[in-house]
C-alpha cells in the first residue's frame, strides 16, 4: 500500500468530521454521502491529489457537492468565432423574445384557445399570419425543427412515390442527418439524378413520370462545389413541374427572411425569393440565420400545408408555447429590417464592424492584463456556422492567452459560466466577434479565476 492510500480516511471517519457534518444542514444527507464517496474514490484511483488535512477534505467535498448541484444545461460564453454554433445552442434570443417566453410560460396562455370565440383554437395559428406577411407565403406551419419539417413535407406530399433529387445535393448536414436517410423514413423514394458536380434540366425531365411525387432542392449548407459544375435553379424547374403537376419542395436549410448583402453575406435567396422563384413549399430552420428558437418553418401552398397540418405526424413534431412565443416575438422584429439587424443577436454579431470587434477586444485585453494574465490581440477569421454561407469569412479579432493552450481550455471550460474558445498554433484564442458586450465582464472574471 502506498503512503497516499494509507493516508486516506474512511468514508465514515470523514462523515463524522465537524466540517462535513456541517454540510448536512445545507444539502440532503444522501448527496453529502455521495460527494464524500466520490472524492475518496477519486483520490484512491489517483484521479486527484489526496487532501492533506480535515479542512482540505471538507473543501474538496464541498466543491464536489456544489458541482452535483450545478444544472447539466448551463450558459456558456462562445469565444469560438462561430456565430451559429450548433453544439453551443445556435442562436441566442433577442430580449423581446425572452420576455415573450417568460410571459407565456409563467402562467396560462391562449395556446389552443380562441379568445374571440371562446372556443378551442389551434396552436398553429400563432405565427402563421406573421410568416405569411414576411414571406408572401399562402400559408405557414411551424414544427420542431427543419429536419421534422422536411420529413413532414415529404411524407405528406410524396409518401410511396419518388422524390427527384440531384446527386450534388445528397448532403449530410451533421449529427447523423443525411438527406437520403431522412427521405427513407418519410416514405418517399429517392430518385437520384445528374452527377455530383453537374445536373441538368434534362436529367430531371428524364426522371419524371407517373410515380414522381416531388422535385426536391436541398441547400448544400456546409460545403461548396467549385470548378466544372452545373445545377438547375428551382425557377428553371417550374415549367417541368407545371407540365406534370408536381410540387417543388425547397429545403433552404438556414434560411433568410431579409437579404444580408449589406453585411457581406450574399448569394442566398430569402424565403420570399424562394417562393417567388416557384417553390411550392419552402422549409427552413428557426434557430439558424433567422435568429429565433429551434423550430422548422414550412411555407407555401395552402392545400399542401393544410394536408401537413392534418397529417398525424404533425402531432409528434409540434412545438410548445415557449417556442411559439419566442418565434412570434423574433418574427415581429423583422417587420422593420433595421430593427431586426440591431435587436436579433446573431444578426448583430454578423453585422458588427471590425472596429467594434477590435474595440471590444482591446478593452478586454487591458482588463485581463491588469489581472496579471499576458495576452495579445490577433486578427482572425470568424464564420457564420450552422451550414449557412459556408465559405464566408468574417474578419474578427481574438485574444491569444499566453501559456499552455490545453490547460487554459480546460480551466475556462470549468469556469462558471464556462468559456469555450479555440486552440490555434498552440495558443488558446478567444474570438471576440461572438462575445457580446454584456458577456465581456464575465469573460474577464472567468480568465481571472482560471489562471494558475
Ligand atoms: C440545418 C439544415 C437542416 C436541419 O435543420 P434543423 O433545424 O437543425 O433540423 C435541414 N436541411 C438543411 C439544408 C440544413 O442546412
The C-alpha atoms of residue 361 and residue 366 are separated, in whole angstroms, by: 9
Give tens-digit pLDDT for 19-43.
999 999 999 999 999 999 999 999 9
The C-alpha atoms of residue 284 and residue 250 are separated, in whole angstroms, by: 9
Pick from 327, 183, 180: nearest CA to 255: 327
Please give the pLDDT value at position 68: 85
**Which alpha helices (DSSP H) does 159-311 contain, by range?**
179-186, 201-207, 234-244, 271-276, 302-310
Q: Which residues of the chain have pLDDT under 50?
A: 1-2
Please give the pLDDT value at position 1: 43
Q: Which residues line ligand 1 (CB under 6 A)?
A: 145-147, 173, 177, 218-219, 221, 251, 253-254, 285, 296, 387
Tell me the residue length of the chain.
452
Please give the pLDDT value at position 386: 84
Residue 168, CB-side half-sphere exposure with 13 Å CA sphere: 20
> Ligand 1 mean position to 253 CA, how many Å?
5
Which atom of ligand 1 is nearest the CA belonging to 218? 13
**Using only C-alpha atoms, what is the Rg of the chain?**
27
* Contact present, 444 and 364 (Cβ < 8 Å): yes
Pick from 137, 200, 110, 122: nearest CA to 164: 200
431 - beta bridge partners?
398
> Quick check: helix, strand or coil at residue 286?
coil
pTM: 0.92
Give tens-digit pLDDT for 239-272.
999 999 999 999 999 889 999 998 889 888 999 9
The C-alpha atoms of residue 43 and residue 38 are separated, in whole angstroms, by: 9
* Contact present, 33 and 64 (Cβ < 8 Å): no
Q: Is 411 left (phi over 0), alpha (psi -120 to 50) or beta?
A: alpha
The residue nearest atom 1 of ligand 1, judged by CA position, is 253
* Contact present, 168 and 218 (Cβ < 8 Å): no
The grid coordinates listed for 353 are 464592424
Which atom of ligand 1 is nearest the CA belonging to 386? 1
Amino acid at each position: 500500500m502506498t503512503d497516499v492510500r494509507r493516508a486516506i480516511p474512511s468514508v465514515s471517519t470523514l462523515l463524522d468530521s465537524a466540517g462535513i457534518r456541517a454540510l448536512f444542514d445545507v444539502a440532503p444527507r444522501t448527496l453529502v454521502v455521495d460527494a464524500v464517496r466520490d472524492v475518496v474514490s477519486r483520490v484512491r484511483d489517483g484521479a486527484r491529489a489526496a487532501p492533506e488535512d480535515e479542512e482540505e477534505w471538507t473543501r474538496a467535498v464541498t466543491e464536489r457537492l456544489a458541482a452535483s448541484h450545478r444544472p447539466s444545461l448551463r450558459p456558456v460564453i462562445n469565444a469560438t468565432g462561430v456565430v451559429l454554433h450548433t453544439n453551443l445552442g445556435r442562436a441566442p434570443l433577442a430580449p423581446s423574445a425572452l420576455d415573450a417566453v417568460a410571459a407565456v410560460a409563467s402562467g396560462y396562455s391562449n395556446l389552443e384557445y380562441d379568445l374571440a370565440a371562446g372556443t378551442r383554437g389551434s396552436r398553429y395559428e400563432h405565427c402563421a399570419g406573421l410568416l405569411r406577411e414576411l414571406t408572401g407565403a399562402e400559408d405557414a406551419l411551424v414544427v420542431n425543427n427543419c429536419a421534422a419539417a422536411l420529413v413532414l413535407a415529404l411524407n405528406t406530399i410524396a409518401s410511396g412515390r419518388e422524390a427527384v433529387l440531384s446527386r450534388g445535393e445528397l448532403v449530410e448536414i451533421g449529427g447523423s442527418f443525411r438527406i437520403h436517410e431522412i427521405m427513407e423514413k418519410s416514405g418517399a423514394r429517392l430518385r437520384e439524378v445528374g452527377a455530383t458536380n453537374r445536373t441538368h434540366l434534362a436529367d430531371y425531365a428524364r426522371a419524371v413520370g407517373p410515380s414522381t411525387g416531388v422535385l426536391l432542392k436541398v441547400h448544400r449548407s456546409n460545403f461548396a462545389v467549385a470548378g466544372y459544375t452545373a445545377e438547375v435553379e428551382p425557377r428553371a424547374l417550374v415549367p417541368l413541374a407545371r407540365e406534370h403537376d408536381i410540387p417543388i419542395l425547397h429545403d433552404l436549410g438556414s434560411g433568410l427572411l431579409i437579404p444580408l448583402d449589406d453585411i457581406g453575406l450574399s448569394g442566398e435567396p430569402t424565403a420570399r425569393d424562394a417562393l417567388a422563384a416557384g417553390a411550392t413549399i419552402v422549409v427552413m430552420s428557426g434557430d439558424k440565420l433567422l435568429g429565433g428558437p429551434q423550430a422548422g418553418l414550412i411555407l407555401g401552398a395552402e392545400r399542401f400545408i393544410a394536408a401537413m397540418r392534418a397529417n398525424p405526424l404533425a402531432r409528434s413534431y409540434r412545438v410548445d408555447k415557449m417556442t411559439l412565443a419566442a418565434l412570434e416575438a423574433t418574427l415581429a422584429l423583422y417587420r422593420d429590417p433595421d430593427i431586426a439587424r440591431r435587436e436579433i443577436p446573431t444578426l448583430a454579431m454578423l453585422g458588427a464592424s471590425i472596429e467594434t470587434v477590435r474595440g471590444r477586444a482591446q478593452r478586454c485585453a487591458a482588463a485581463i492584463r491588469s489581472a496579471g494574465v499576458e495576452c495579445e490581440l490577433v486578427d482572425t477569421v470568424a464564420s457564420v456556422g450552422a451550414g449557412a454561407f459556408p465559405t464566408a469569412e468574417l474578419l474578427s479579432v481574438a485574444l491569444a492567452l499566453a501559456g499552455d493552450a490545453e490547460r487554459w481550455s480546460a480551466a475556462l471550460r470549468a469556469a462558471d459560466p464556462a468559456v469555450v474558445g479555440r486552440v490555434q498554433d498552440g495558443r488558446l484564442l478567444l474570438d471576440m466577434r461572438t462575445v457580446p458586450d454584456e458577456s465581456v465582464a464575465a469573460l474577464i472574471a472567468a480568465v481571472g479565476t482560471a489562471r494558475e
